[in-house]
Amino acid sequence: MSGFGTNDLTDRDILSYVALGDSFTEGMSDPYPDSDSVPNGRYRGWADRVAEHLTDHVGEVRYANLAVRGRLIGQILEEQLPRAVELSPDLITICAGGNDIIRPGSDPDAVAALFEEAIAGLAGTGARVVVFTGFDTNWQPVMRHLRGKIATYNMHMRAIADRYGCDVVDVWSMRILDDPRAWNWDRLHLSPEGHRRLALRVCEVLGVPLEGDWNEPWPPAEPRDWRAARQEDLYWAREFLMPWIHRRLTGRSSGDDVSPKRPALEPLRPDH
């Protein structure tokens, strides 16, 4: 844990918060109600939701979200970290390295070295820094083989967090997210309900009082026959897996030509 008291974030009139990362932090698959289309519409996501929760306890929340979908950890270091240091916020969240880890041939030790470089730079700002472990992919047959690499990276991140006094959101242990309803149809990004639950968990780690339980059991699922499950698998492979593989082979990213949605620290309006 960092040296901040549990109520430190809410015992002030103005709070500045900067979120760094990739699609996980950008909020993909959680569009705002006023979004007419995606990806041209506005994504919400757990980080926006955390900022919204903070407005219930702080006079003014100034919030920037520098995350961009598809970003590798080296790109986050190069593009987002200098801006976050420049903004000198009170609170920083960073989730980075997931896109590296899921790529074939990636080395979690090398990714962790870059992660520590990022944390060292962010810790120097004096901000409260929050990091996230990777998800447990055991429930996903297609990504189950990545568990070992993700677990190795998680152990590195925990050790780094200890060295620099960061808070840790242990997403790996959130068994409530093993339910398919926590995920978008692409099986890689959280659903709106998944983002809502994760925001509650982050607030819990930060010591921010709120209503709601991130670990509330899911209602009974509707029965599905094997034919429907098979059709969903085929649709997923055609609409997500094959385009993802094609981008890897051609060196493109879903975040090409995408800019951060909140590049500056701006007050969060009452209507968010």
- C-alpha–C-alpha distance, residues 245 and 138, integer Å: 21
230 falls within a domain: no
CATH assignment of the domain containing 51: 3.40.50.1110
Q: Give the pLDDT of residue 202.
A: 98
| pLDDT 10s digits, 185-207 | 777 889 999 999 999 999 999 99
234 falls within a domain: no
233 falls within a domain: no
Region of residue 49 (left: phi > 0; alpha: psi -120 to 50; beta: else): alpha
Q: Which residues of the chain have pLDDT under 50?
A: 1-7, 37-40
How many independent structural domains does the chain possess? 1
Per DSSP (E only), the strands in the chain are 14-21, 60-65, 91-95, 128-132, 167-169, 262-267
Q: Which helix (H) or strand (E) holds 248?
A: helix 242-250
- C-alpha–C-alpha distance, residues 97 and 140, integer Å: 19
Three-state secondary structure call for residue 98: helix
Two tokens, residue 6: 């549990």
| pLDDT 10s digits, 229-249 | 666 666 666 665 566 565 555
Q: Give the pLDDT of residue 237.
A: 60
- pTM (whole model) above 0.85: yes
Confirm if 137 and 143 have CB atoms less than 8 A apart: yes
Range of the domain at 117: 14-218+260-267
Instruction: Estimate to the nearest angstrom the gap between the alpha carbon of 236 and the chain centroid.
Output: 22
